[in-house]
Each structure stands twice: as C-alpha cells, then as structure tokens.
Amino acid sequence: MTDHDFDTSIVQQTNHRPWAMPDAPWVMTQTWHDLLFAHWPVDPAPIRVRLPRTFELDLFDAQAWIGVVPFHMTNVAPRGVPSMPLLSAFPELNVRTYVQVGGRPGVYFFSLDAGSRLAVRVARALLNLPYWSARMSVSRRGDVIEYHSRRRAEPATEFTATYAPVGSTFNAASGTLEYFLTERYCLYHEDRAGAPYRLEIHHPPWSLQIGEAIVRTNTLAEGNGLGFVGAPALLHFARRQDMIAWMPTPLA
C-alpha cells in the first residue's frame, strides 16, 4: 500500500454531507483501502438490548443490519504529523450496526480488530472503543484481496475471506439501502465513565462496486454474541477512502 499520500482536497468536498462539518478543527487522518462491506439483515430486538439506551437503533424498512468490514489503513496520523510506515499502516476488521441520535445517523461498533497493538492501546485509552489486537494479513493479486484475521485474546475470533469488486463504480443514491449502510459521518460510543459521545468524521461520497466474496472462516458472530449466520446478504467493495476525524463530543 502507498503511504504519505493523503488527499487533503477532501475538506473542500462538502455538498454531499447530510449535515455541516463541525466548527472545531479536525485532528486525524486515515486512508482506508480495499474495503469489503459484508452485511446481514437481523431481527432488531436482540440488537437493541446490546446498545446503550442513548443510542436509537437505526432501521431500514423496519430491518436492522450487521456489517462486517475488513480493510487496510494507511496515513493514520494526528493532524500535522507525518505518517510513519510502522505506526500508520495496518489492517482493521470491524463488526458494526447502525444507530442514530438527534436525527444524525452513525455507526456503533461491537468490535474492532487491528493489526497494530499500539493503535489498539491508544483507541482503548482515548475513546474506550472495543479494539482488539489480532494477527492479520492482507494481500492483493490484481483485484482479488486475500484477508485473514485471528484475534490474540480469547475467544480468538477469526475471519478469512477472498473478495473482489464486480462491475463499475457508483455512488449510492440517497434513500437507498446502499446509502443507508455506507454514508455515515459519525460513530457513537460511551467513554470509560459510561457517558455517551459522538465522534464526527468526514470523507467524500463512497465510490462503491458490487462485491463478491468467498468467506472461509467467520466466527465474529459468536465472538460478539450476535445472531447473524450464513453467507452475507449484501456485498459491496470500495477501493479507497480518505477520511478526517474530530475529537469526540459528549452527548447531553
């Protein structure tokens, strides 16, 4: 993967956003590569009980969704600090659902596995996010991505897949399921004291393709106490996304 190539022009691309960017200065860059959005429809009831009360489960046509998203990151660095190859580039794998607070839809993470122990420690300390250290490998042959992750802690959840894009790129139209699942501009979680917060992010509209995948191992449902089983119902692929993030904001 190429590092040190963050696209700073994304801060000028704002017409697509569902609400205005925060007034405060952004604090971090990340570049996401070769993402697979694998999604399962699930019964809303058991997901609601797993969420903090402040966060309303976000539904599409009365249906909740669980997403598993493997990818690789570069340019992970505080604002104004050059990215460093050994610290600023690593794989990540997240398990998520969709929530909203005050009419602002966002993402809620059940788990995030990362190939950087330092990133795991920092994210846990600063954001109280459920990060886990994992042994991870990602390789690309043409358009085909080989991805493997095995969590170091017990239960040692594992995800192994081969995936690739199919067809031409598109931007999801507002109101579609693809838009609902991808165009999210914040995440929600609680700090160590149990106080809820919103963390705003910004990126251009997702350039998506239909995805195809062979998932050989997936124990993420069991490891997170979630009930999604079988093959994913929807697969989308994104080659690259540059992103900036702000400090978390407490919710009243």
pLDDT at residue 32 is higher than 50: yes
Q: Where are the chain's structural domains?
A: 27-250
Give the list of residues 6+ apart from residue 221 with CB closer than 8 angstroms, or none. 227, 228, 229
What pLDDT does 1 receive?
A: 46
Query: What is the DSSP code (8-state) at residue 146?
Result: E
Q: Say what the pTM is.
A: 0.96
Cα-flanking dihedrals φ and ψ of residue 174, to 5°? -55, 135
Residues 235-251, mean pLDDT to the nearest whole number = 98
- pLDDT band of 221, cuts 50, 70, 90: very high
Q: How would CATH label the architecture of 27-250?
A: Beta Barrel (2.40)
Give Dmax (Cα) for the chain: 48
**What's the rounded Cα separation, in Å, for the pair 246 and 201?**
6
Helix, strand, coil percent values for the chain (each to nearest 5): 10, 50, 40
**What's the rounded Cα separation, in Å, for the pair 235 and 36?**
7
> How many other C-beta atoms lie within 10 A of the C-beta of residue 81?
11
What pLDDT does 227 receive?
A: 86
pLDDT in tens, 47-92: 999 999 999 999 999 999 999 999 999 999 999 888 876 689 999 9
pLDDT in tens, 95-129: 999 999 999 999 999 999 999 999 999 999 999 99
